[in-house]
Amino acid sequence: MNNAPPTTASPPTAEATTAPLAGFTVAVTAARRAEELSTLLHRKGAQVIAAPALRIVPLSDDQRLATVSEQLTRTPADVVVATTGIGFRGWIEACETWGMAEPLLTSMASSRLLARGPKAKGAIRAAGLTEEWSPPSESSAEVLDYLLQRGVQGLRVAIQLHGEPLPDFTAALRLAGAEVIEVPVYRWTQPEQTAPLDRLIEAVTTGGVDAVTFTSAPAAAGLLTRAHTTGQQHALVQALRGHVLAMCVGPVTARPLMAHDIPTVWPDRARIGAQVRKLTEELPARFPTLHVAGHRMRLRGHAVLVDGTVHTLSPTLMRLMRALAHRPGQVRDRAHLLTCLGEDADAHAVETAVARLRTALGDPKIIQTVVKRGYRLALDTHPC
């Protein structure tokens, strides 16, 4: 799944015309659970472009993990912090291949176990252990506060890393007198095939995407890093600061984006289901309802909703529609509209494109001709 080429859904069918994300294109950057997230978005009517922004590299054959696990088996830690469910499970599975899982779990039974979130908590319980505490915020900072408030002087604290080091976390514990043991279960790296991710970045920077979803901080960092490598980081950041919504699963995921002053949104609960629900609220709300020629009209990324029905437009007609809707009711002259049609278009092309747009919208009265001046949306002065 990690190296699959980006996929694009078919346009929403007639049955999906009232779906909240119909007419929008959403990018998925997840390496894990990308199929699940894409399916949820499809069900909400979105077109989806999916390409992993990172690759998870398990360290089941890594000598460092084996050495650390053997040390903890011989001398149990006072505290074990599980930061991710997949990481904790991967740790135990790796130890099974070395015949070390049972003694490691026995040693952990005497440790105080902390889970950063519900997935880590579930992994601890699935291993037959019980956690002492888990923060409601799923925040590493809150786990650190919990430890420091109770004191760690002289304690051995093992931290299961979640793909990248936690230098601030470990430094704070060491300053407080703890012996910190880092457990590197897996790490992140760029995808083996980067072409799908490059195409996703191009779609974001050229206006082909309305929102990008992020389910982990490394995925957000991976997207920015790849864009930097290909010389597209400035364009990507500008797009995410502008018309493209950055939809994160939680505040921890958002941090690499916030470091670039990219506005981010996340749900109250860090779950992909909640993330999709939040997206269905946030993305349509960016496009106000216009009352035009007796109709209720809303623009979407590649479509226009007229009285709740999706009218999918070509990129050219969508640019023309956006130009008319930029200042609803105001006349847009032919010279301005001509710029939406490409370099090779002539003056007559405007009339042809407007006629096609009227047909696509289903009511020619939506676009009004103003003789010798241009065109405008027939904005209702007293909408119902």
What's the pLDDT at 384? 53
- Residue 383 confidence class, pLDDT cut points 50, 70, 90: low
Cα–Cα distance for residue pair 225/67, rounded to 1 Å: 31
Q: Are 245 and 265 in contact (CB under 8 A)?
A: yes
Percent of all residues in the chain with a pLDDT value above 70, rounded to a whole number: 93
Tell me which fold the domain 290-377 belongs to: Arc Repressor Mutant, subunit A (1.10.10)
- What are residue 357's phi and psi, to 5 degrees? -65, -40
Cα–Cα distance for residue pair 78/226, rounded to 1 Å: 40
- Residue 275 confidence class, pLDDT cut points 50, 70, 90: very high
Cα–Cα distance for residue pair 40/34, rounded to 1 Å: 10
Q: Are 352 and 359 in contact (CB under 8 A)?
A: no
| Residue spans per domain, the chain | 14-54+191-285, 57-188, 290-377
pLDDT tens sequence across 231-269: 999 999 999 999 999 999 888 789 899 999 999 999 988
Q: Are 214 and 265 in contact (CB under 8 A)?
A: no
What's the pLDDT at 2? 43
Instruction: Supply the CATH classification number for the domain 57-188.
Output: 3.40.50.10090
Tell whether the model's pLDDT for residue 26 goes beyond 90: yes
Q: What is the average pLDDT value for the chain, to the nearest integer? A: 89
Region 346-355: mean pLDDT is 87
User: What CATH number does domain 14-54+191-285 carry, 3.40.50.10090, 1.10.357.10, 3.20.20.70, 1.10.10.920?
Assistant: 3.40.50.10090
Cα–Cα distance for residue pair 55/262, rounded to 1 Å: 24
Could you check whether 57-188 and 290-377 share the same CATH topology?
no
Cα–Cα distance for residue pair 84/356, rounded to 1 Å: 53
DSSP state of 45: T
What's the pLDDT at 64? 86
pLDDT tens sequence across 149-181: 999 999 999 999 876 678 889 999 999 999 999
pTM over 0.75: no
Q: Token pair 């920015």 is at which residue?
A: 224
Residue of 340 and 303 predicted with greater confidence:
303
What's the pLDDT at 294? 93
Tell whether the model's pLDDT for residue 43 goes beyond 90: yes
What's the pLDDT at 129? 97
Tell whether the model's pLDDT for residue 89 goes beyond 50: yes
